[in-house]
């Protein structure tokens, strides 16, 4: 699925994967990205933000993929047993990607910046590292990152050996950080609870985003 006929060269080599495999315990269970935000599934908002920045888009999710059928995206499940956390989803994305670069984002982040992919590539090139991660307000956001497909074998070995922390693994290979401002809002705000979902809706409408 191609979202833009003209895009920067590195974006045209980057496949986007939305991580949608969490258990959403704080949201009461179920698929958090399918919760309604301003009348549409939160996943719709995420797709609208990240889709135009990539040459293609897929979901990482486990279980019956039919529940995401309305979104028309391929669904890539974890390839390791027992769902060992977000690194397993990132690994599935890297191994399934048809392109040399993968950008991953959570399915509960509806305000992603529209220069995410370009700035992550710029950060890793400037730092001379293979990986790049988003940051805002002095905090890093490890699942929102750029991954070279060629590191998939190393990641598979690490997860199989028990590694579960994204930032610990990326630090071993070299990761750059691209910082975004948090005013007038944090572009990496994510809705983990019903209260945060309501807050996201207020922010969405107040900032003039199309619901």
Q: Where are the domains of the chain?
A: 11-206
Residue 23's pLDDT is 52
The two structure tokens encoding residue 36? 């309604």
Residue 27's pLDDT is 43
CATH architecture of 11-206: Alpha-Beta Complex (3.90)
Which pTM does this prediction carry? 0.90
Residue 148 and residue 13 in contact, taking contact as beta carbons nearer than 8 Å: no
E strand map for the chain: 14-19, 36-37, 40-41, 56-60, 75-76, 101-106, 131-136, 139-148, 175-180
User: 11: number of CA atoms within 13 Å, CB side?
Assistant: 18
Residues above pLDDT 90, as percent of the chain: 74
Tokens 């933000």 locate to: 49
Residue 132 and residue 175 in contact, taking contact as beta carbons nearer than 8 Å: yes
pLDDT in tens, 151-170: 999 999 999 999 999 999 99
């Amino acid at each position: 699925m191609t979202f833009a006929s003209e895009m920067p060269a590195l974006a045209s080599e980057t496949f986007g994967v939305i991580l949608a495999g969490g258990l959403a315990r704080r949201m009461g269970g179920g698929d958090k990205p399918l919760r309604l935000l301003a009348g549409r599934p939160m996943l719709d908002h995420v797709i609208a933000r990240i889709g135009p920045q990539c040459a293609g888009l897929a979901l990482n999710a486990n279980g019956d993929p039919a529940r995401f059928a309305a979104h028309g995206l391929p669904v890539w499940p974890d390839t390791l047993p027992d769902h060992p956390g977000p690194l397993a989803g990132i690994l599935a994305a890297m191994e399934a990607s048809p392109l040399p670069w993968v950008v991953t984002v959570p399915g509960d982040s509806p305000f992603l910046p529209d220069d995410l992919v370009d700035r992550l590539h710029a950060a890793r090139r400037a730092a001379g590292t293979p990986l790049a991660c988003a940051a805002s307000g002095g905090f890093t956001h490890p699942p929102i990152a750029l991954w070279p497909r060629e590191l998939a074998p190393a990641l598979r070995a690490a997860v199989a050996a028990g590694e579960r922390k994204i930032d610990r693994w990326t630090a071993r290979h070299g990761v750059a950080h691209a910082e975004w401002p948090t005013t007038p809002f944090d572009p990496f705000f994510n809705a983990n609870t019903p209260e945060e979902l309501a807050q996201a809706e207020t922010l969405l409408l107040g900032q003039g985003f199309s619901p």
